[in-house]
Structure 1
Amino acid sequence: MAAANYPVTLIRQMLQRASAAYGITTESVVLPNNVQVIGPAGPNGTTIKSAAVDTDLRFDQTFPLARLVSAARRGAVEPAAGEAELRRITAAPHRLPSWVSVIGYGIQSAGLALVLEPTPLNLLGATVFGLLVGAIATASRGRPLLAQLVPVISAFAVTSLAILAAHRLGLDHVGLRALIPPLAMFLPGVAMTLAVVELTSRDMISGTSRLVAGFAQLAQLAFGIFIAVQILGESESQLTSIAVNKLGPWAPWVGVAVYTLGIMLFLGPPVRFVPWLLIVVYAAYAAQFFGDLAFGSYVSGVTGGFALTLCAMAMASRPGAPPAISLILPGFWLLVPGSMGLIGIAELFGADGDSAITVTFVSMFSVAFGLQAGLVGWQLARRVRRRGRGGFGLREHVA
């Protein structure tokens, strides 16, 4: 569960419920990259089981993992069979060939370009750069040391090519929004959101570590961008974040569908995931869009995160639905809570540095706060419905 980026609060709750289902009393210490389970004391001492998280699970692996977690929570799987299934899940190969993943990421990047800045040039650039970044990321699979450098390498490559293309076409600026779609996989929106959830749940160590890791990843992207800017002699003031739409108001709504197709090809979840994913991402984007119209850009993150969570939790309660955590994550990537943070950090070095700190912090945490508000709203609704007998929604429907 830690390798699938479940909140540590949820992991601890799952361990407690699974232990109770098997008639065992345990205590646990859960961190983002390490889990320790302490068993009852016996004649030979106390049993302590520890597991370290070396790599994250792929998105397609989270679906069978959720089924296994659900079975373990009910005590419906034998321990030996559960361990065998877990080994099978972690050893499972990619469901789709690597070249399909590369194409999928190019499509995903094109979809985000339609959402963030729909212009013909940006759409073409996002698709080409998305294919490039997808190829780099795919080549780094199974190579942990190389994977650590991929964000900087990708940011440098995308920015360099964008600047060279802008010079070739006679453009006087490079839009930061045009750089975001191909770099979206490296934006730590989920890490930032989990950090806020864990900090508000009093898991200070886990929340703080995720927060620091998220800012470090944003800094990697910004570093790659400005290496390219300095090497090519571009002025930081020529990096702008002004939104432009030359295709029409329909473009972002089509972009959401294109983004969904890209997610399916790049991450390779089961085909039955498509209708659920479409409902969630359209609900989240619609809430963000109308929240922006009604209240402004900062509040739009709250409305988007709130709608995303409520929609995911409601659908996860339906028979045959995917786990809530698998529905929520792609919605975060569409809302791009980290993208505004990247723009803010980049502008710290440019002409708009005075307002960049506010943009960075408020925009990144707005979606996270929306998530937390959605979880609280779902919890209250279930308590009212069950008259005090209901549990915490995420705990019940995440798996």
Structure 2
Amino acid sequence: MAHVAEPPDDRAIQVAFLARLGSAMLGADYPVTVVRRALIRISAQYGTTCPLLVLPNFIQVGDGAQTKVANRDRPLRYDQTFPVGELVHKAERGLITAADGIAELDRIRAMPKRFPAWVGVSGCGVQSAAYALILQPTPAALIAATGFGLLVGVLELITGNNDGVRQLLPVLSAFVVTYLAFSLGRLLHMGHESLRVLIPPLILFLPGVAITLAVIEASTGQMVSGAARLMTGLLNLAQLALGIVLAIQVLGLSSFELTDAARNTFGPWAPWLGVAVYAVGMVLYLGPPPGFAPWLVLVLFVTYGAQVATAGAVGGYVSGFGGGLVLMICALALGRLPMTPATQVVLAPGFWLLVPSSVGLIGIAELAGGSGGDAVTVMLVSIMSIALGFQIGMAIWSIFPHRESWVEDSSS
């Protein structure tokens, strides 16, 4: 396909567009291998092939007098990742000029949210209720998780315009939720249920995506990027751990009160209902385009079904392997269909549903009471199993010939 014709003196604009587009892709949590490959294709379309350096929080395009350096964009909202994916698709095919691409990036950054703020807060409550149905389907857990989810949504709304305070939100939320959960657990004699009640509202802050991408990038030779993402994910987990441990110590809880045991008083249908409720919560909280809802439901049920099937076949510790494998293949297949979002956009909901780090939070809470040391190891095994599922899914997909694919030789 012929590339977009632009005057030779527009090379500086083309380099600037490549840098800004790469920064936006990093802000949308694209793996660095995918960002680099996309920029190489786009620069070839413009006839401005130039050196590239792509890291999780930094990008450099070009050399000499026309070098453009950009830091990683602020994390994009989920609804903003849809037009970014469409822009990448157009640019890779030479269907948009660099100047128009820069204008489109400005438009994407200025996009208003689909729903008002109170809808997003309610979405937090609905998502938390969904995780309660999946992790601990009991009436007390469902009510408490919904209330704590709404509380976390309010805290996120209040701190939304203050970057400094927002960085402390995981610690603050973990402390408040843990303190209230265990205090109510004592008051209402909920006992061990309080431990699982504190997990659903905190899943919003879990670093499962960052840690899983770190494993994938490190295994494909991107050691610097993988190490950077891993440290970021572990830091986020440490913030949550600090909030939980502080609340536990303030309350003076004993290891007996921290005993964890799953319960299901609703029935085996409850987790499946939780997946559907989770889809509703994601729509309210993230505000994706209306046409994405059917694909969202499909991806979530396929991913969860694969996870349950794997758990039944080989055990729960590696259930994420089956979920990750099927999710990757499903996302790659949907990404090739007309009128469907980019592969990266389809992957994100499944990432969050797998929630491997919830096991780690339970283990950290138990460690504060002198027990539960094996749970952190289980968390790491869960994360590795999901990453392995993604890798094998990409390998299976790459076996078959595809004219254009999200998965190609990572060394490109």
TM-score interval for Structure 1 and Structure 2 normalised by the shorter chain: over 0.9
Say if 1:240 and 1:323 are closer, same or farther in 2 by CA, change over 3 A. Answer: farther
Residue of structure 2 in register with 1:23 after alignment: 47
Q: CA deviation at 1:25?
A: 1.4
Give the CA deviation at 1:351. Answer: 4.0
Of residues 109, 124, 146, the one that matches 2:128 is 109
Asked if structure 1 preserves the Cα contact closer than 8 Å seen for 2:192 and 2:261, the reply is no
* Offset at residue 364 of structure 1 (A): 2.0
Does 1:9 pair with 2:28? no
Aligned-partner residue type, residue 133 of structure 1: V
| 1:174 CA displacement | 4.7
Report the residue type matching 2:394 in the other structure.
L
- Tell me, in whole angstroms, the C-alpha distance in 1 between the residues paired with 2:167 and 2:256: 29
CA contact (8 A) 2:319 2:382 kept: no
1:226 aligns with 2:245: yes
CA distance 1:154–1:236, change in 2 (3 Å): farther
Q: State the AA in 1 paired with 2:196.
A: R
Secondary structure class of the residue paired with 2:66: strand
Name the counterpart of 2:272.
253
- Among 313, 321, 340, the alignment partner of 1:321 is 340
Task: Give the CA deviation at 1:345.
Answer: 3.1
Shift of 1:92: 1.5
The correspondence of residues 1-399 of structure 1 with structure 2, limited to 5 A, is: 1-39=25-63, 45-380=64-399, 382-383=400-401, 390-394=403-407
Deviations 1:1-36 (A, max 9, x none): 011110011000011000001111111111111111
Q: Residue 367 of structure 1 aligns to a residue in which SS?
A: helix
Amino acid in the other structure paired with 1:331: G
Kept after mapping to 2: 8 A contact 1:301/1:337:
yes
> 1:2 is aligned with what amino acid?
L
Amino acid in structure 1 at the alignment position of 2:205? F
Kept in 2: contact 1:341–1:359 (CA 8 A) = yes
The 1-side partners of 2:251 and 2:73 are apart by 37
Residue 278 of structure 2 aligns to a residue whose secondary structure is: helix
Distance 1:89 1:375, change over 3 A: same
The DSSP-based 3-state class of the residue aligned with 1:2 is: helix
- How far apart, CA to CA, are the structure 2 residues paired with 1:376 and 1:138? 41
Tell me by how many angstroms 1:204 deviates: 0.7
CA distance in 1, matches of 2:282, 2:260: 25
Which residue of structure 2 aligns with residue 42 of structure 1? Answer: none
* Change beyond 3 A, Cα 1:61–1:189: same
Percent identical residues: 50
How many matched pairs? 385
CA distance in 1: counterparts of 2:132 and 2:162, whole angstroms: 29
Return the alpha-carbon distance in structure 2 between the equivalents of residues 259 and 395 of structure 1.
32
User: What is the root-mean-square deviation in Å for CA atoms of aligned residues?
Assistant: 1.6
Shift of 1:395: 6.4
Report if aligned partners of 1:163, 1:174 keep a CA contact under 8 Å in 2: no
Normalised by the length of structure 2, the TM-score is: 0.90
Moved more, 369-378 or 273-282: 369-378
Shift of 1:171: 3.0
Question: Unaligned regions of 5+ residues in structure 1, if any?
Answer: 40-44
CA distance in 2: counterparts of 1:67 and 1:395, whole angstroms: 19
Q: Give the drift of 1:393.
A: 3.6
Q: Is the 8 A contact 1:102 1:131 kept in 2?
A: yes
Mean Cα displacement is larger for which, 312-321 or 146-155? 312-321
Tell me how far 1:343 sits from its aligned partner. 2.4
Task: Give yes or no for contact 1:175–1:240 (8 Å, CA) kept in 2.
Answer: no
The equivalent of 2:22 in structure 1 is: none
TM superposition score normalised by structure 1:
0.93
Q: Distance in 2 between matches of 1:323 and 1:391?
A: 13
CA distance in 1, matches of 2:157, 2:373: 38
CA gap 1:348/1:137 in 2 versus in 1, 3 angstroms: same
Matched-pair contact (CA < 8 Å) for 2:32–2:56: yes
Moved over 6 A (4+): none
Deviations, residues 295-347 of structure 1 (Å, cap 9, x unaligned): 00122110011111111111121110111111111111111022122223333
